[in-house]
Amino acid sequence: MCVMRSFQLSLLRVSERHQRCWRRKHSAERPRTGESEPDHLLMDSSGNMWNTHEGAFFSALSADVGLQEMFGEHQISLRSRSEHVAEGTEEAGRETLLNRVYTELYITEGLRPEGHTQHEVMQLETTTKTNQLHDTAIKNPDIFKVLPDQHRSIRVVLTSGVAGAGKSFSVQKFTLDWAEGLENQDISAVVPLSFREMNLIRDEQHSLLTLIQLFHPTLQKIPAEQLSVCKLLFIFDGLDESRFSLDFNNSPVVSDVTHKSSVNVLLTNLIQGRLLPSALVWITSRPAAANQIPPSCVDRLTEVRGFNDAQKEEYFRRRFPDGELSSKIISHTKGSMSLYIMCEVPVFCWITAVVLENLLTTEQRGELPTTLTDMYSHFLMVQTKRKKNKYQQEHQTSPQELTETDREVLLKLGRLAFEHLEKGNIMFYQEDLQQCGLDVTEASVYSGVCTEIFRRECGIFQKPVYSFVHLSVQEFLAAVYMFHCYSNRKVEVIEDFLKNNMENPSLDKFLSRVMEKSLQSQNGHLDLLVRFLHGLSVESNQRLLGGLLGKTEKNPETIQRAINNLKEIDSEGVSPDRSINIYHCLMEMKDLSVHQEIKEFLKSEKKSWKYLSEIHCSALAYTLQMSEEVLDELDLNQYKTSDEGKRRLIPAVRNCRKFSSWTCSCITAPEHTFLSDFRLQNCSLSEISCEALVSALKKNPSNLIELDLNDNKNLPDSGVLHLCGFLESLDCRLQTLRSVKKLNSLKDEKKGSGEELAKVSLEDFLSTAMFETN
């Protein structure tokens, strides 16, 4: 308000000066006839120039003051909406000030390359070692600022991040800083429009003007002609939550802010710059949905990475002032790699804190959770216990037991989670709940008290929008529901999911079919679900969840068959990173045999003597990739295993300095962190192989200084040309390129020489290659 008042006073003083000037101009000081009369211009505090002739200034000034007053009211409204946040809950009275708890998140320019091919949990694992080493960090207020090496303005920003990483927090903090007058004051108005709220009007017709006015009543009186004059920022939060499609190829053109159309058509035109091209646009999304926006429409790609290792510890120490308790929790999470990696997601840190605090500070003693299934099983019980303590008489049942009502509601929530997981929906509406047999009152109880499982938000229309507190909670409840359907022989649900006849299958066959379906998924969206399903086959989790799973199978022979199936899975055609999930499923079943065998293998001095199965190779790749020590060299030729086994070792490339292979399977190598020496000897590289190799090298080439393609005698000239794209990259630091056949088909004097170079400078190679492509 102080800023607004200061602006109004400055304009008032300017107005008074101009009235005096105008009176003088129309009296004795008016120029004589025949003299030219200069334009009288005045700059206001916003930098706008006004003509003072014939009172034109006064009407423009009045309009400008009215506009600024409206924007001032809008700032006050946004501040009120943005200044509070709730951690894991929307329960009234438990919110806190955003500025009090906000921790600066790590935002980088560029996206993880696995965003469309891996489950988000696996993305955390594959980028733990690469985090913060080669990325360009961007502070939240600078999301639209041009970097020193960039030469064009930033109009559209697309920010990606796994569920719970902090995308919405970043948007909220940006909005609050603007509303409080602290940052980005060159922007006239920030206009947040979340997809979860726009879903409610997806079937309605609106113009851009009425869309703004609908979601932001403080801008109700903004004139249409002023939209193109003001600098507006539209923030579209949660593209992955959208219930309507964006068609950038066939969308009709809309350029008039008063023209009515469907919401998706308005958004595509706004993003493409056809509608209100002066506006800034910021879109946030989970990785799998980010590719809906064409790269040609985006000026900057950024990613929110969540907590680093230091911030994980800081979180637990802040939450638990008791140093002994926080140290125990930190120590336990570090002892389980899967738990510690998940703590990169702030919401999972909170889930871990809730569970471990309950287990370490109450009389309920027992084994602490070591797997994800353990953690979420305890989490479900802790939150249900909280609801029970408030709404039910404790003497009726033990606090650790589920009542029949609890089971019914949790299974309905599980059905909701399961049915919408396949559809990719993480936001739900009243009709979605009703289709799953959930009464709105039941959901209100779970969202008002047990919000940590299920959350209810009221948007701008005061219509409830429901969600699970995190995608992983939805996936866990979906797995619980699916396991319940299997145990209770609800064959139609299982068959509809697997698209297969599943008449009374044994548990090992059921788990095998689900694993097969998950491996067929292009983006790995079922990978965590299948981990949870294997974890739910463990007796300790079945005992903890009571009757929620139904009558479960406890035959040790069946469990052993399921374990053997995992060890023998043929994952040919599946990426090496995705194959690691098979090893994770073994760990969820608490079968540590492969884990122990790899530990012994790494201690052995005769590694080349021991044959490694394919599951051993996945376990070894994961272990080496996550190791704190950087491996000096990964030579696939030194491992006694099959070609598929060598391919499964590829993820370890991320954590080694030198890499060698006699097989071209490694051209699918992931982005690397420390790799400086890359050797592909006698691999019979084809043109397609070279193209794939270049794609792999471009992911992170900055450390690579030597590339050895020795003994690839049939390397085609067209294949060598693909290498030029990599060599010409600005990030390329290659110093030595060994044994590459020079192109000479266009040089008569070298025709047929087949010259091999032991070492060739980049300048010589490029000049020859580029000459011969002309």
Higher pLDDT, 235 or 12: 235
pLDDT (average), residues 753-759: 38
Instruction: Tokens for 357, please give them.
Output: 């605090």
Q: Is the pLDDT of residue 727 over 90?
A: no
Q: Is the pLDDT of residue 740 over 80?
A: no
Q: Which residues pair with 206 in a beta bridge?
A: 261
Same domain, 519 and 547: yes
Q: Quick one: pLDDT band at residue 375, thresholds 50, 70, 90?
A: very high
Q: Are 520 and 455 in contact (CB under 8 A)?
A: no
Angle between helices 556-567 and 507-520 in degrees, nearest 10: 30
Of 368, 384, 417, at which residue does a domain stop? 368
pLDDT (average), residues 232-261: 93
From 150-159, 411-420, 759-768, the region with the lowest mean pLDDT: 759-768
Query: How far from the centroid of its chain's Cα atoms is residue 758's Cα?
Result: 44
Higher pLDDT, 215 or 11: 215
pLDDT at residue 41 in the model: 42
**Other C-beta atoms lying within 10 Å of the C-beta of residue 255:** 11
Same domain, 298 and 322: no
Which domain does 347 fall in, by range?
A: 310-368
The CATH number for 197's domain is 3.40.50.300
pLDDT at residue 471 in the model: 87
pLDDT at residue 682 in the model: 66
pLDDT at residue 672 in the model: 53
Could you give the CA distance from residue 481 to residue 562 in angstroms, rounded to a whole number? 20
Reported as a single tens digit per residue, the pLDDT across 463-472 is 777 888 888 9
pLDDT at residue 357 in the model: 92
Q: Is the pLDDT of residue 769 over 70?
A: no
pLDDT at residue 753 in the model: 39
Q: What is the mean pLDDT of the chain?
A: 77
pLDDT at residue 636 in the model: 84
Q: Tell me whether residue 566 is in a domain.
A: no
Q: Tell me whether residue 394 is in a domain.
A: no
Higher pLDDT, 555 or 191: 191
Q: Quick one: pLDDT band at residue 128, thresholds 50, 70, 90?
A: low
What are phi and psi for residue 529, nearest 5 degrees? -60, -45
Of 306, 341, 360, at which residue does a domain stop? 306
Same domain, 343 and 286: no
Q: Is the pLDDT of residue 605 over 50?
A: yes
Same domain, 300 and 165: yes
Same domain, 597 and 647: yes
The CATH number for 595's domain is 3.80.10
Reported as a single tens digit per residue, the pLDDT across 433-450 is 889 888 766 666 655 435
pLDDT (average), residues 144-155: 84
From 118-127, 278-287, 409-418, the region with the lowest mean pLDDT: 118-127
Q: Quick one: pLDDT band at residue 395, thresholds 50, 70, 90?
A: very low
Could you give the CA distance from residue 528 to residue 518 in angstroms, rounded to a whole number? 9
Reported as a single tens digit per residue, the pLDDT across 660-678 is 776 655 555 555 556 777 7
- Strands of 136-137's sheet in order across: 136-137, 107-109, 300-304, 156-160, 280-285, 232-236, 189-192
Reported as a single tens digit per residue, the pLDDT across 544-567 is 997 888 887 778 999 999 999 999
pLDDT at residue 362 in the model: 78
From 29-33, 232-236, 340-344, 484-488, the region with the lowest mean pLDDT: 29-33
Could you give the CA distance from residue 534 to residue 527 in angstroms, rounded to a whole number? 11
Q: Tell me whether residue 60 is in a domain.
A: no
pLDDT at residue 193 in the model: 94
pLDDT at residue 562 in the model: 95
Compute CA distances 171 → 82, 157, 162, 233, 454, whole Å: 9, 12, 15, 12, 23
pLDDT at residue 87 in the model: 58
Of 257, 288, 306, at which residue does a domain stop? 306
Q: Quick one: pLDDT band at residue 270, thresholds 50, 70, 90?
A: very high
Q: Quick one: pLDDT band at residue 59, thresholds 50, 70, 90?
A: very low
Compute CA distances 572 → 116, 133, 568, whole Å: 19, 32, 12
Q: Tell me whether residue 22 is in a domain.
A: no
Could you give the CA distance from residue 682 to residue 543 in angstroms, rounded to a whole number? 55
pLDDT at residue 13 in the model: 37
Q: Are 241 and 199 in contact (CB under 8 A)?
A: yes
- The radius of gyration computed from the CA coordinates of the chain, to the nearest angstrom, equals 31
From 230-234, 279-283, 709-713, the region with the lowest mean pLDDT: 709-713
pLDDT at residue 214 in the model: 92
pLDDT at residue 64 in the model: 66
What value, to the nearest 5°, has the Cα angle with vertex 87 and ends 482 and 346? Answer: 70
Q: Are 599 and 380 in contact (CB under 8 A)?
A: no
pLDDT at residue 386 in the model: 74
Q: Identify which of 263-272, 298-307, 686-695 has the greatest average pLDDT.
A: 263-272
From 91-100, 136-145, 190-199, the region with the lowest mean pLDDT: 91-100
Same domain, 200 and 322: no
Q: Tell me whether residue 3 is in a domain.
A: no
Q: Quick one: pLDDT band at residue 584, thresholds 50, 70, 90?
A: very high
From 58-67, 227-236, 315-324, the region with the lowest mean pLDDT: 58-67
Q: Is the pLDDT of residue 540 over 50?
A: yes
**By percentage, how much of the chain surpasses pLDDT 90?**
33
Q: Is the pLDDT of residue 93 over 50?
A: no
pLDDT at residue 730 in the model: 65
Reported as a single tens digit per residue, the pLDDT across 504-515 is 789 999 999 999
pLDDT (average), residues 754-772: 41
Instruction: Tokens for 137, please give them.
Output: 């960090």
Q: Quick one: pLDDT band at residue 424, thresholds 50, 70, 90?
A: confident
pLDDT at residue 384 in the model: 83
Could you give the CA distance from residue 63 to residue 376 in angstroms, rounded to a whole number? 57
pLDDT (average), residues 518-530: 88
Same domain, 361 and 440: no
Same domain, 510 and 535: yes
Q: Tell me whether residue 383 is in a domain.
A: no
Same domain, 204 and 297: yes
Domains of the chain: total: 4
Same domain, 602 and 695: yes
Q: Are 645 and 613 in contact (CB under 8 A)?
A: yes
Q: How many helices (H) and strands (E) does the chain have?
A: 31, 20
Q: Is the pLDDT of residue 79 over 90?
A: yes
What are phi and psi for residue 283, nearest 5 degrees? -115, 135
Q: Quick one: pLDDT band at residue 28, thresholds 50, 70, 90?
A: very low
From 344-358, 422-436, 716-730, the region with the lowest mean pLDDT: 716-730
**Other C-beta atoms lying within 10 Å of the C-beta of residue 473:** 26
Q: Is the pLDDT of residue 612 over 80?
A: yes
Could you give the CA distance from residue 54 to residue 572 in angstroms, rounded to a whole number? 81
Q: Quick one: pLDDT band at residue 197, thresholds 50, 70, 90?
A: confident
**By percentage, how much of the chain surpasses pLDDT 70?**
69
Same domain, 105 and 215: yes
Same domain, 269 and 191: yes
Q: Tell me whether residue 11 is in a domain.
A: no
Q: Tell me whether residue 590 is in a domain.
A: yes
